[in-house]
Amino acid sequence: MGKFAFGLTVATAAALGAAAALAHRISTETGKSFSEALNEVPAEAERYLEEILARGREAYDAGRTAAAEKQAEITNRLGERL
């Protein structure tokens, strides 16, 4: 088995494992059967993705704000010395 085939196999196994884990969690939280919970996996995965992207945007914005503040502080300190 080549490297590409191995990587594809691992990625597929990871995706199936994540789907099964989500379905199991949905099943235990709602009391639905595992097969019924599998129908809700795409919506739940999309919700997780949206949450991850929102957190990433927040972190990015916070980092830009902190960098701008630090840059202003550095500029002020350099201006005082010149």
- Whether 46 and 18 map to the same domain: the answer is no
Whole-prediction pTM: 0.62
Whether residue 10 sits in one domain with residue 26: yes
pLDDT given at position 73: 92
The total number of structural domains in the chain stands at 2
The residue segments making up the domain with residue 58 are: 42-82
Does 81 lie in the same domain as 46?
Answer: yes
30 and 55 in one domain? no
Identify whether residues 32 and 49 lie together within a single domain. no
Averages of pLDDT over runs of 10 residues in the chain (82 residues) are: 89 92 91 90 92 97 97 88 68
For residue 72, the model assigns a pLDDT of: 92
Helices and strands counted in the chain (H then E): 3, 0
